C-alpha cells in the first residue's frame, strides 16, 4: 500500500516506525520545513529510501505520487483542510489526535470519508494496549457489575521550549490547552471503557504557569454518564519538575481496576468478584508485543480496515465524541455552569481571550 506522511515534526518518528512495521511502501514525506523532511527521511533504512520523494506542498505530492494512505501529523487547526484534500485525491487517512478543533470540522471530515467510501482513522492509539483491551473486555462482559465511577490523571510537565517548538502549540486556533492536547486520549478511553456517553459536565480550567500560551495548562472536570456513572478528570502540564505517570481507574460494585504508565500497562489493581482470569485471557487473545507508543498496532489496524475489516476499535465518530467532551469542559469552565451534552456546535476559538 502506497503511503505518505504529511508533517515531519516531533511525533513523525512514531509514524515512520509504524509504517515500516506495517510493510507500507513509503512513497513521500511532506513538510514545509526542509530540515524536518530531511530528518524524517534519514530515519528510513537506506535500503528502503529509493523512490521516496520529499515535498513541501501536499497538493503537489498527492497529484504526483497518488498515495493510498496518508498520515497527517500537523497542528490541529490544519486537519480538516489537509485530510479532506487527501481524501478528495483518493487517499485513506490516519489523522493524529484530536480529530479537529470544532465539531463542524470533525463532521466535514467524517462526511467526506463516508461520501467517498474512504477510511478516516484517528490516532487514539492507547485503545490498542493489551491491558486497555482487557479492561474494555471486562467492562463489556459486565464484570464490573454496576460501574460507579472512573478517574483519570494526566500529570505532565511542558516547558517554554516545548511551546516554542511549534507556533501552533497552546493557541486556540490550532491546538487548545492540556485537556485537548495531552488529555484527549483519556477522555476517549473513559467513554470507550465505560461504554456510555457523557450527559453532563462541570469543570474549571485555568492558565497558571504558562503566560505565553493562550489556552489552559490545568483542567479539572467532573462528568456524569448516561449510564449513571461519574468520572473525574485532572489534566495539567504544570507538574514540577517533570512528568508523573498517567493513570486511570474504574470502580464498579463488583470490580476495581487501577492502571498507570504511558500506555496504561502498569497494573496497580485488577480485582473482580469473578477472579482475575479476564486479564490473562484478553492478553493472550490480543498479544500485542510491539505496542511502543501505540502507533504500530494502530497502523496495522488501519491497514486491516482499509483492506475490508470492520472499523470497530477506533472509529472517527468516537474521536468526535472525545473532542465534544473536551469542548463541553471548556464551555462549562468558561460559563461557570453545568453543560449538558450533546453540544450543538462548538469550537476552541469560541474561548479565544479566555485567560487574557
Ligand atoms: N498520538 C500521540 O500520542 C501524539 C503525541 C504527540 C503529538 N501528537 C499530535 O500530532 C500532531 C503533530 O504534533 P507534533 O508534536 O509532531 O508537531 P510539530 O510542530 O513538532 O510538527 C508539525 C510539523 O508539521 C509541519 N507543517 C506545518 N504545516 C504544514 C503543512 N501545511 N504542510 C506540511 N507540513 C506542515 C511543520 O513544519 C512541522 O514539522 C498534533 O496533532 C499533536 O496533537 C499526537
Q: State the residue for C-alpha cell 465524541.
A: 321
| β-bridge mates for residue 255, sequence order | 272
Instruction: With 0.85 as the threshold, say if the pTM is over it.
Output: yes
Name the pLDDT band for 185 (thresholds 50, 70, 90).
very high
Q: Return d(Cα 66, Cα 3) in angstroms, integer.
A: 9
pLDDT in tens, 336-348: 999 999 999 999 9
| Beta pairing, strands 247-252 & 92-96 | unpaired
Beta carbon of 30 within 6 Å of any ligand 1 atom: yes
In the reported structure, the alpha carbon of residue 266 is separated from the centroid of ligand 1 by a whole-number distance in angstroms of 28
User: Would you say 152 and 248 are in contact if contact means Cβ atoms under 8 Å apart?
Assistant: yes
Residue nearest to atom 27 of ligand 1 (CA): 74
31 lines ligand 1 (CB under 6 A): yes
Cα–Cα distances in Å, from 66 out to 58, 86, 324?
11, 9, 33
Q: Which residues pair with 329 in a beta bridge?
A: none
288 confidence band (pLDDT: 50, 70, 90): confident
Looking at the predicted structure, is the pLDDT value of residue 278 above 90?
no
Cα dihedral 20→80→96→323 (10° resolution): -150
Question: Does the beta carbon of 247 sit less than 6 angstroms from any atom of ligand 1?
Answer: no
DSSP 22-37: TT-EEEEEE-SSHHHH
pLDDT, residue 108, reads 98
Q: Are strands 255-260 and 266-272 parallel, antiparallel or unpaired?
A: antiparallel
C-beta of residue 347 within 8 angstroms of C-beta of residue 101: yes
Pocket perturbation via mutation, ligand 1, pick of 28, 38, 41, 73 by most ligand atoms within 8 A of CB: 73
What residues pair up with 153 in beta bridges, in sequence order?
A: 234, 247
pLDDT over 90 percentage in the chain? 93
CA of 59 to the centre of ligand 1 (A): 18
Tell me the per-residue pLDDT of 4-60, one tens digit each, with 9 for 90 and over: 999 999 999 999 999 999 999 999 999 999 999 999 999 999 999 999 999 999 999
pLDDT of residue 115: 98
Per DSSP, 348 falls in state: G
Res. 287 pLDDT band, cuts 50 70 90: confident
Q: In whole numbers, what is the pLDDT of the chain averaged over residues?
A: 95
Q: Interior CA angle at 285 toward 99 and 149, to 5°?
A: 55
Amino acid at each position: 500500500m502506497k503511503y505518505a506522511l504529511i508533517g515531519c515534526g516531533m511525533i513523525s518518528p512514531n509514524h515512520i516506525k509504524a509504517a515500516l512495521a506495517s510493510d507500507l511502501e513509503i512513497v513521500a514525506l511532506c513538510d514545509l520545513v526542509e530540515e524536518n523532511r530531511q530528518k524524517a527521511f534519514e530515519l528510513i533504512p537506506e535500503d528502503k529510501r529509493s523512490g521516496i520523494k520529499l515535498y513541501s506542498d501536499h497538493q503537489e505530492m498527492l497529484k504526483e505520487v497518488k498515495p493510498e494512505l496518508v498520515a497527517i501529523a500537523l497542528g490541529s487547526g490544519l486537519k480538516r483542510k489537509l485530510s479532506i484534500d487527501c481524501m478528495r485525491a483518493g487517499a485513506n487517512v490516519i489523522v493524529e489526535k484530536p480529530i479537529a478543533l470544532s465539531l463542524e470540522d470533525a463532521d466535514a471530515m467524517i462526511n467526506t470519508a463516508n461520501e467517498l467510501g474512504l477510511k478516516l482513522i484517528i490516532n487514539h492509539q492507547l485503545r490498542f494496549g493489551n491491558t486497555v483491551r482487557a479492561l474494555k473486555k471486562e467492562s463489556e462482559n459486565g464484570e464490573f457489575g454496576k460501574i460507579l465511577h472512573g478517574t483519570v490523571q494526566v500529570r505532565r510537565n511542558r516547558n517554554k521550549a516545548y511551546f516554542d517548538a511549534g507556533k501552533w502549540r497552546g493557541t486556540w486556533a490550532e491546538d487548545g490547552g492540556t485537556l485537548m492536547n495531552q488529555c484527549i486520549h483519556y477522555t476517549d478511553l473513559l467513554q470507550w471503557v465505560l461504554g456510555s456517553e457523557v450527559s453532563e459536565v462541570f469543570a474549571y480550567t485555568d492558565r497558571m504557569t504558562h503566560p505565553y500560551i493562550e489556552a489552559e495548562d490545568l483542567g479539572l472536570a467532573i462528568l456524569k454518564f448516561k449510564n449513571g456513572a461519574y468520572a473525574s478528570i485532572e489534566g495539567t502540564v504544570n507538574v514540577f519538575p517533570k512528568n508523573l505517570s498517567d493513570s486511570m481507574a474504574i470502580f464498579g460494585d463488583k470490580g476495581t481496576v487501577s492502571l498507570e504508565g504511558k500506555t496504561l500497562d502498569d497494573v496497580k489493581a485488577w480485582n473482580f468478584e469473578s477472579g482475575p482470569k479476564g486479564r490473562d485471557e484478553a492478553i493472550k487473545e490480543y498479544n500485542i508485543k510491539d505496542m511502543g507508543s501505540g502507533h504500530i498496532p494502530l497502523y496495522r489496524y488501519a491497514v486491516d480496515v482499509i483492506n475490508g475489516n470492520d472499523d470497530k476499535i477506533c472509529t472517527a465518530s468516537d474521536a468526535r465524541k472525545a473532542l465534544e467532551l473536551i469542548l463541553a469542559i471548556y464551555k462549562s469552565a468558561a460559563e461557570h455552569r453545568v453543560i449538558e451534552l450533546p453540544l450543538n456546535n462548538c469550537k476552541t476559538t469560541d474561548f479565544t481571550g479566555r485567560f487574557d
